[in-house]
Structure 1
Amino acid sequence: MSERDSPDVEEGQRRGDVPSDAGSERRPRAGYAGPRLVVGLYLILVLVTATAGFLIATFVEGLEPPRFLFLVPFPATPLGFAAYGGLTLAIVLGIPLALVVYVSGRIDDDA
Protein backbone atom coordinates (compact mmCIF):
# COMPACT_ATOMS: atom_id res chain seq x y z
CA MET A 1 0.00 0.00 0.00
CA SER A 2 1.46 3.36 -0.98
CA GLU A 3 1.45 6.58 1.02
CA ARG A 4 -1.20 7.96 -1.32
CA ASP A 5 -3.59 5.08 -0.57
CA SER A 6 -3.06 5.05 3.20
CA PRO A 7 -6.02 6.40 5.18
CA ASP A 8 -3.67 7.34 8.06
CA VAL A 9 -1.88 9.96 5.98
CA GLU A 10 -3.47 13.39 5.99
CA GLU A 11 -3.80 15.50 2.85
CA GLY A 12 -1.07 17.95 3.88
CA GLN A 13 1.42 15.13 4.39
CA ARG A 14 0.83 13.76 0.90
CA ARG A 15 1.88 17.07 -0.60
CA GLY A 16 5.12 17.10 1.37
CA ASP A 17 4.01 19.72 3.89
CA VAL A 18 5.28 19.45 7.42
CA PRO A 19 2.57 19.20 10.08
CA SER A 20 2.49 22.10 12.52
CA ASP A 21 3.22 19.79 15.47
CA ALA A 22 6.51 18.58 13.97
CA GLY A 23 8.50 20.74 16.41
CA SER A 24 12.26 20.68 16.07
CA GLU A 25 12.22 17.91 13.47
CA ARG A 26 10.83 20.27 10.83
CA ARG A 27 12.34 19.74 7.41
CA PRO A 28 13.81 22.80 5.69
CA ARG A 29 11.64 24.12 2.92
CA ALA A 30 12.90 24.74 -0.58
CA GLY A 31 14.19 28.24 -1.16
CA TYR A 32 17.12 30.39 -0.22
CA ALA A 33 17.90 29.83 3.44
CA GLY A 34 20.80 28.58 5.54
CA PRO A 35 23.69 26.92 3.75
CA ARG A 36 22.10 27.37 0.34
CA LEU A 37 22.00 31.15 0.85
CA VAL A 38 25.62 31.29 2.05
CA VAL A 39 26.91 29.28 -0.92
CA GLY A 40 24.84 31.39 -3.31
CA LEU A 41 26.23 34.63 -1.88
CA TYR A 42 29.74 33.18 -1.99
CA LEU A 43 29.42 32.31 -5.68
CA ILE A 44 27.90 35.69 -6.52
CA LEU A 45 30.74 37.53 -4.76
CA VAL A 46 33.38 35.47 -6.57
CA LEU A 47 31.71 36.12 -9.94
CA VAL A 48 31.37 39.85 -9.23
CA THR A 49 35.06 40.03 -8.32
CA ALA A 50 36.08 38.14 -11.45
CA THR A 51 33.92 40.48 -13.53
CA ALA A 52 35.50 43.52 -11.86
CA GLY A 53 38.97 42.17 -12.63
CA PHE A 54 37.99 41.63 -16.26
CA LEU A 55 36.55 45.15 -16.57
CA ILE A 56 39.54 46.79 -14.87
CA ALA A 57 41.97 45.09 -17.23
CA THR A 58 39.78 45.99 -20.20
CA PHE A 59 39.56 49.72 -19.51
CA VAL A 60 42.75 50.58 -17.57
CA GLU A 61 46.02 50.87 -19.47
CA GLY A 62 49.50 49.95 -18.23
CA LEU A 63 48.64 47.42 -15.55
CA GLU A 64 51.38 45.17 -14.20
CA PRO A 65 50.74 41.41 -14.16
CA PRO A 66 49.19 40.29 -10.86
CA ARG A 67 50.79 37.51 -8.79
CA PHE A 68 48.31 35.07 -7.28
CA LEU A 69 49.27 34.41 -3.64
CA PHE A 70 52.47 36.38 -4.37
CA LEU A 71 53.81 33.31 -6.21
CA VAL A 72 52.01 32.57 -9.46
CA PRO A 73 52.19 35.32 -12.09
CA PHE A 74 49.05 35.87 -14.13
CA PRO A 75 49.08 37.66 -17.49
CA ALA A 76 48.02 41.31 -17.55
CA THR A 77 45.02 40.51 -19.75
CA PRO A 78 41.31 40.74 -18.96
CA LEU A 79 41.13 36.97 -18.44
CA GLY A 80 44.24 37.01 -16.26
CA PHE A 81 42.79 39.71 -14.01
CA ALA A 82 39.40 37.96 -13.93
CA ALA A 83 41.05 34.71 -12.83
CA TYR A 84 43.21 36.55 -10.31
CA GLY A 85 40.25 38.39 -8.77
CA GLY A 86 37.97 35.37 -8.68
CA LEU A 87 40.58 32.98 -7.29
CA THR A 88 41.83 35.45 -4.71
CA LEU A 89 38.37 36.12 -3.32
CA ALA A 90 37.48 32.42 -3.48
CA ILE A 91 40.50 31.63 -1.29
CA VAL A 92 40.08 34.61 1.05
CA LEU A 93 36.39 33.83 1.69
CA GLY A 94 36.48 30.08 1.12
CA ILE A 95 39.00 29.12 3.79
CA PRO A 96 37.19 30.89 6.67
CA LEU A 97 33.85 29.59 5.39
CA ALA A 98 35.19 26.02 5.31
CA LEU A 99 36.54 26.45 8.84
CA VAL A 100 33.16 27.69 10.08
CA VAL A 101 31.45 24.67 8.51
CA TYR A 102 34.02 22.32 10.04
CA VAL A 103 33.82 23.83 13.53
CA SER A 104 30.03 24.08 13.51
CA GLY A 105 29.85 20.40 12.63
CA ARG A 106 32.03 19.54 15.63
CA ILE A 107 30.26 21.67 18.24
CA ASP A 108 28.07 19.80 20.67
CA ASP A 109 24.52 21.13 20.28
CA ASP A 110 23.61 20.14 23.82
CA ALA A 111 26.03 22.62 25.38
Structure 2
Amino acid sequence: MSRRNWDGPRFVLLLYVLLVGVAGTAGFLTATFVDGLERPAYLFLVEFPATQLGFAAYGALTIATVLGIPLLLVVIVSQNIDDEARVE
Protein backbone atom coordinates (compact mmCIF):
# COMPACT_ATOMS: atom_id res chain seq x y z
CA MET A 1 0.00 0.00 0.00
CA SER A 2 1.58 3.26 -1.09
CA ARG A 3 1.52 6.37 1.06
CA ARG A 4 0.35 9.59 -0.59
CA ASN A 5 2.70 12.52 -0.60
CA TRP A 6 0.79 15.47 0.91
CA ASP A 7 3.41 18.14 0.52
CA GLY A 8 2.42 21.80 0.90
CA PRO A 9 1.73 22.85 -2.71
CA ARG A 10 -0.27 19.73 -3.54
CA PHE A 11 -2.40 20.11 -0.40
CA VAL A 12 -3.06 23.81 -1.08
CA LEU A 13 -4.04 23.09 -4.68
CA LEU A 14 -6.38 20.30 -3.60
CA LEU A 15 -7.96 22.56 -0.97
CA TYR A 16 -8.35 25.34 -3.57
CA VAL A 17 -10.10 23.04 -6.05
CA LEU A 18 -12.31 21.65 -3.28
CA LEU A 19 -13.39 25.14 -2.16
CA VAL A 20 -14.13 26.22 -5.73
CA GLY A 21 -16.23 23.09 -6.18
CA VAL A 22 -18.14 23.75 -2.97
CA ALA A 23 -18.86 27.31 -4.11
CA GLY A 24 -20.13 26.05 -7.46
CA THR A 25 -22.34 23.51 -5.72
CA ALA A 26 -23.66 26.19 -3.37
CA GLY A 27 -24.53 28.39 -6.34
CA PHE A 28 -26.32 25.51 -8.04
CA LEU A 29 -28.29 24.68 -4.90
CA THR A 30 -29.17 28.33 -4.32
CA ALA A 31 -30.69 28.60 -7.77
CA THR A 32 -32.50 25.31 -7.24
CA PHE A 33 -34.26 26.20 -3.99
CA VAL A 34 -34.61 30.02 -4.04
CA ASP A 35 -37.19 31.66 -6.28
CA GLY A 36 -37.05 35.12 -7.82
CA LEU A 37 -33.30 35.46 -8.12
CA GLU A 38 -31.81 38.21 -10.27
CA ARG A 39 -29.03 37.65 -12.76
CA PRO A 40 -25.62 37.61 -11.04
CA ALA A 41 -22.87 39.80 -12.50
CA TYR A 42 -19.32 38.50 -12.20
CA LEU A 43 -17.02 41.43 -11.31
CA PHE A 44 -19.99 43.69 -12.11
CA LEU A 45 -19.23 43.21 -15.82
CA VAL A 46 -20.31 39.78 -17.05
CA GLU A 47 -23.91 38.82 -16.39
CA PHE A 48 -24.81 35.18 -16.02
CA PRO A 49 -28.30 33.82 -16.57
CA ALA A 50 -30.40 33.29 -13.44
CA THR A 51 -30.31 29.52 -13.89
CA GLN A 52 -28.72 26.73 -11.91
CA LEU A 53 -25.73 26.58 -14.23
CA GLY A 54 -25.36 30.36 -14.24
CA PHE A 55 -25.27 30.55 -10.45
CA ALA A 56 -22.91 27.57 -10.23
CA ALA A 57 -20.49 29.25 -12.64
CA TYR A 58 -20.82 32.57 -10.82
CA GLY A 59 -20.10 31.00 -7.43
CA ALA A 60 -17.14 28.98 -8.68
CA LEU A 61 -15.58 31.88 -10.59
CA THR A 62 -16.05 34.31 -7.74
CA ILE A 63 -14.38 32.06 -5.18
CA ALA A 64 -11.67 31.08 -7.66
CA THR A 65 -10.86 34.76 -8.13
CA VAL A 66 -11.12 35.76 -4.47
CA LEU A 67 -8.87 32.90 -3.34
CA GLY A 68 -6.72 32.59 -6.46
CA ILE A 69 -5.32 36.12 -6.69
CA PRO A 70 -3.92 36.22 -3.12
CA LEU A 71 -2.65 32.65 -3.51
CA LEU A 72 -0.88 33.59 -6.73
CA LEU A 73 0.69 36.61 -5.02
CA VAL A 74 1.96 34.41 -2.19
CA VAL A 75 3.53 32.03 -4.70
CA ILE A 76 5.21 34.88 -6.60
CA VAL A 77 6.58 36.49 -3.45
CA SER A 78 7.78 33.19 -1.99
CA GLN A 79 9.72 32.40 -5.17
CA ASN A 80 11.30 35.83 -5.50
CA ILE A 81 12.08 36.80 -1.90
CA ASP A 82 15.70 36.74 -0.78
CA ASP A 83 16.33 34.05 1.79
CA GLU A 84 19.65 34.41 3.57
CA ALA A 85 19.43 30.96 5.13
CA ARG A 86 18.90 29.30 1.76
CA VAL A 87 21.89 27.37 0.47
CA GLU A 88 22.21 27.05 -3.27
Q: TM-score, normalised by structure 1?
A: 0.71
Which portions of structure 1, spanning 4 or more consecutive aligned residues, are displaced by more than 2 angstroms?
Answer: none
> Residue 48 of structure 2 is aligned with which of 70, 74, 96?
74
Residue deviations 1:45-89 (CA, integer Å, cap 9, x gap): 000000000000011100000000001100000000000000000
Task: Give the alignment's Cα RMSD to 1 decimal.
Answer: 1.3
Find the structure with the greater CA-based Rg. 1
More helix by share: 2
**Structure 1 stretches of 5 or more lacking a match?**
1-28
Per the TM alignment, residue 30 of structure 1 is displaced from its structure 2 partner at its CA by: 4.5
**Structure 2 stretches of 5 or more lacking a match?**
none
Residue deviations 1:18-47 (CA, integer Å, cap 9, x gap): xxxxxxxxxxx8422200000000000000
> Partner of 1:110: helix, strand, or coil?
coil
Answer yes or no: is 1:53 the counterpart of 2:41.
no
Cross-structure match for 1:92: 66
| CA distance in structure 1 between the partners assigned to 2:19 and 2:72 by the alignment | 16
Greater RCO (Cα-Cα under 8 Å, separation 6 or more): 2
Per the TM alignment, residue 92 of structure 1 is displaced from its structure 2 partner at its CA by: 0.6
